[in-house]
Amino acid sequence: MRLLIKNIGTIVGIDQSGRERVAGADMASVGTLDDAWLVAERGIISDYGQMSRLPQIDADETIDAGGGMLFPSFCDSHTHIVYAGSREQEFLDKINGLSYEQIAKRGGGILNSADRLHAASEDELYRQAMERVDEIISMGTGLVEIKSGYGLSTEDELKMLRVIRRIRETSPIAVRSTFLGAHAVARDYIGRQSEYVDMVCREMIPAVAAENLADFVDVFCDKGFFTVEETERIMRCGAKYGMRAKIHANELDISGGVEAGVRHGALSVDHLERMGDEQIEALLGSRTMPTMLPGAAFFLSMSYPPARKMIDAGLAVALASDYNPGSSPSGNMRMVTALASIKMKMTPAEAINAATINGAAAMGESQRYGSITRGKVANMFVTRPMPSLAWMPYAYQTPVIRHIVLGGKPIKTLQS
């Protein structure tokens, strides 16, 4: 299948440098080409150029972009979209003054989702998750990481991960999966946290690996959840089975999770609402991607991560949605880029880099996804004509996406 997209006002996110990530001052620019065409062949971006020099192309399908902009699909490197039901009761509790930690302590939060997940069949979970998958596709996401972590028993963690595998097999979106058995201590193990960690290492990780269900391993390393020592133990166990780490760190406290992630070569450390200079220092010179989830800071009314400080220090940063029922019930990556600009003072170009190529890098996938590059997977979306790149986060609620292409094929969605 050969797809031609013509009359593109501007291609955004062009990168032929081969770089794995965009860091520091380089984040402020994105490669662009005005008045352009692009061809995707057998799922891969094969070429692009200027309309004034459009070669004769024998296309199976043609999209007329009508002067709209073409972006690489968002690469959302942190989600929990496989879950059962919803938690708006806790949303009301929060309105009435309880904190995320207080709700968790009362047995709400993650344990509430674990109870619901336990009661749901694999088919029902898949059905609910696919609604969210279709929703994020319609909002421009083309590569997504999905975590387990609402199972908290070997059987239910495997159930979640099998649902993630089924999404990967049946949806046009590209999926990477993460085992997050250490998301919370299961109800049956309350007061016996070290036994729970033993089970994660001795039983869950080998079982997950035996079915090849996870690319990565994650731990909620934070106050009231798992300690640095436990996190390190689980990272070591995961590494034995080829799972690189992606760590939840510094959401509730300066937890030591950032430094632990760096020490163990984690692919990313995520959240970072609490960051000091030492944590930024620890990240400099490492290959660990600091990943910020402003949707969670917004929804929980927390302080936002110090994005400016991190970029100005020379770091590459990524943005992700954290789509989950407790702290971020939205997978809208455009909204995430708007929050990054409005609340964290990231320029629109910085936010786009953080939500595309650096997001892909946080999944170890930036050689195949995250920019408009000859040879990369043809995952992209075309907008209506916009006056400039900045208009996208500025007019943050106006629907803009007109066409979505995944794996080189146009996708029919809720919006297009």
Applying CB under 5 A, the residues found at the interface with Fe ion are 322
Distance, in Å, from the CA atom of 4 to the CA atom of 6, rounded to the nearest integer, reads 6
Q: Is 10 in the site for ligand NIG (CB under 6 A)?
A: no
Cα Rg of the chain (Å, integer): 21
Nearer to ligand NIG, 292 or 349 (CB): 292
| Cα 157 from Cα 229, distance rounded (Å) | 22
Total of residues contacting ligand NIG (CB under 6 A): 13
* Burial of 58 from C-beta contacts in 10 A (0-12 / 13-18 / 19+): exposed
* Burial of 342: CB neighbours in 10 Å, binned 0-12, 13-18, 19+: middle
Give least dist CB 324 to Fe ion, A.
6
* Residue facing ligand NIG at closest CB distance: 326
- Please tell me what DSSP assigns to residue 15: -
Based on the number of CB atoms within 10 Å of its own CB, is 154 exposed (0-12), middle (13-18) or buried (19 or more)?
middle
Q: Which does 326 bind (CB under 5 to 8 A by kind): Fe ion, ligand NIG, none?
A: ligand NIG
Nearer to Fe ion, 10 or 324 (CB): 324
Q: Which helix (H) or strand (E) holds 165?
A: helix 154-170
Provide the 3-class DSSP secondary structure of residue 117. Answer: helix
Nearest-approach distance from CB 410 to Fe ion, in angstroms: 32
**Does residue 326 touch ligand NIG according to CB under 6 A?**
yes
Assign 246 to helix, strand or coil: strand
Which span (21-29, 32-40, 318-326, 400-408) binds ligand NIG, by CB under 6 A? 318-326
**Does 113 help bind ligand NIG (rule: CB under 6 A)?**
yes
230 lies in the site for ligand NIG, by CB under 6 A: no
What mask, x for binding ligand NIG by CB under 6 A, covers residues 265 to 304? -------------------------------x--------
Q: Which of 291, 327, 356, 413 binds ligand NIG (CB under 6 A)?
A: 327
Is the Cβ of residue 113 or residue 373 nearer to ligand NIG in the bound state? 113
| Shortest Å, Cβ 327 to ligand NIG | 3
* 109 contact choice in ligand NIG, Fe ion, none (CB below 5 to 8 Å, kind-dependent): ligand NIG
Percentage helix, strand, coil, to 5, in the chain?
A: 35, 25, 40
Pick what 238 binds: Fe ion, ligand NIG, none; C-beta below 5 to 8 Å, kind-dependent.
none
Q: Which does 113 bind (CB under 5 to 8 A by kind): ligand NIG, Fe ion, none?
A: ligand NIG
Please state the closest distance from residue 266 (CB atom) to Fe ion, in A: 14
Question: What does the alpha-carbon distance between residue 59 and residue 57 come to, in Å, rounded to a whole number?
Answer: 6
Give the closest residue to 271 by CA, choosing from 329, 330, 317: 317
Give, to the nearest 10 degrees, the angle between helix 122-138 and helix 154-170. 50
Q: With binding defined as CB under 6 A, does residue 350 bind ligand NIG?
A: no
Closest CA to 310 of 333, 332, 340, 334: 340
The answer to whether 76 contacts ligand NIG (rule: CB under 6 A) is no
Sign of CA dihedral 54, 4, 366, 293: positive
Q: Does 251 bind ligand NIG (CB under 6 A)?
A: yes
Shortest Cβ 107–ligand NIG spacing (Å): 13
The 373-402 contact track toward ligand NIG, x by CB under 6 A, reads ------------------------------
Cβ–Cβ contacts within 10 Å for residue 264, how many?
18
- Residues at the contact surface with ligand NIG, assessed by CB under 6 A: 80, 109-110, 113, 220, 248, 251, 296, 322, 324-327
